[in-house]
Amino acid sequence: MTNPYKFGRVPYLLRPFMTVSSPTAVILGAGFSYVAGLPLAKDLFDCEFFIPSKAAERRFAAVLQSWRAWQSMHGEHGPEHFLTEIYRSPKIGPVPWSWATEMVAAILATPLRHDRGPFQTRYAGRITCPVNVPQHNTFWDVMLSRFSISGVLTTNYDLLAERGLRHRPIQRPERPGFHYGGLSRPQILKGTALPFSVVKAERDIELMGTIPFYKLHGSLNWGLRWGVLSLYQDSRPAFRHGGDAQIVPPIFEKEAPSWLADVWNEARQVLASCSTWIVCGYSMPYYDSSIIQLFIDAAKNGILTEIILLDPNSQMLLERWNVIVPGTKVRALPGLPEGLRRLATY
């Protein structure tokens, strides 16, 4: 079987090795985005972020005040516990659930320093801009030249993976592009023209890539208004109207909302159709019970034979994977970028 995503120019390190032809699924967790500078769940409330308005500033201040008061009494627990408490008691909790989700979205949507460019902060970090993270570029070089990728899944909300795969096929570097799996096509993303420029950014683009990308917990560039899901080139839904980005925040016992059902169903089918899973930066937190069940169901009803872990704590995760997918070969490699060097010669 020929890898449909293998292009002519391959990094020198990879040239001597043949492509793994078995269908492969790539699973990305928070650790994948962490190497680019985004916070992990445990550090959500300890980083700088963009505040879009005075009203948002007041709401965020209330959330932070409640977090600090809560943390002083529950020092051993993290933001996931705090958010779960608000979610379970949205009317009597310390702050409204909508304020907490707005702040989580704003934190993760705030563009990294090198991503701001000429755009206003709320429109920066666009899907049309290539990712500027060496570890991610090397990651996709290895994935696309060494494996036959059937689909990519993530629990992340940010746009880093989209920017690495690119919104359409390109040649330098060679990328096949992506489209959102589980959402109807054509997929037209709204944009914002770049002001004061002779060459203006496209206002609308269509996702033309071949790799389906499944965002299991929603995305910062998905906005839902009046029951209609709209897609954007940037993370503006996180900063408008009190934050209407469609994401499932990190809480215990979280389940996918009904509007994500098709995304999950197609993701399960892709996982079942792949004999190899490459899991990068996913720590398998115990509150992700729905995701874990997704893996169990897909492995039980599919052709999975091997899992490759790319994670600084891969040896610790090895036992957990052996429990949920017994009988499957699991290889534990270091995280990015060290694990890629070993994977490139696998």
- Which band of pLDDT confidence, cut at 50, 70 and 90, is reported for residue 193? low
Strands 306-310 and 329-333: parallel
- Which band of pLDDT confidence, cut at 50, 70 and 90, is reported for residue 262? very high
CA-closest candidate to residue 139, choices 14, 22, 285: 14
Q: From its phi and psi, is residue 117 left (phi > 0), alpha (psi between -120 and 50) or beta?
A: left
Residue type (1 letter), 16: P
**For residues 290 and 253, which has the higher predicted lDDT (pLDDT)?**
290
Give the whole-angstrom CA distance, residue 327 versus residue 321. Answer: 10
Asked if the model's pLDDT at residue 18 lies above 60, the reply is no
What separation in angstroms does the CA of 2 have from each of 149, 174, 194, 274? 11, 16, 40, 15
310 contacts 109 by C-beta, under 8 angstroms: no
Q: Which residues contact 194 (CB under 8 A, 6 or more apart)?
A: 118, 119, 200, 201
pLDDT at 342: 87
Give the whole-angstrom CA distance, residue 280 versus residue 161. Answer: 12
Asked if the model's pLDDT at residue 253 lies above 70, the reply is no
Handedness of CA 224, 156, 173, 176 (dihedral sign): negative
Tally of CB atoms within 10 A around 75: 8
CA-closest candidate to residue 24, choices 201, 143, 156, 185: 143
pLDDT at 9: 37
Asked if the model's pLDDT at residue 256 lies above 80, the reply is no
Asked if the model's pLDDT at residue 74 lies above 80, the reply is yes
Asked if the model's pLDDT at residue 92 lies above 80, the reply is no
Can you list the domains of the chain with their CATH numbers?
12-38+124-344 (3.40.50.1220), 41-115 (no CATH)
Report, as an integer, the average pLDDT of 197-217. Answer: 84
Reported pTM: 0.90
* Range in 70-79, 103-112, 250-259, 303-312 with the lowest mean pLDDT: 250-259
pLDDT in tens, 124-145: 889 999 998 999 999 999 999 9
Sequence length of the chain is 346
Q: Determine phi and psi for 155, rounding to 5 degrees.
A: -100, 0
pLDDT in tens, 141-186: 999 999 999 999 999 999 999 999 999 999 989 999 999 999 999 9
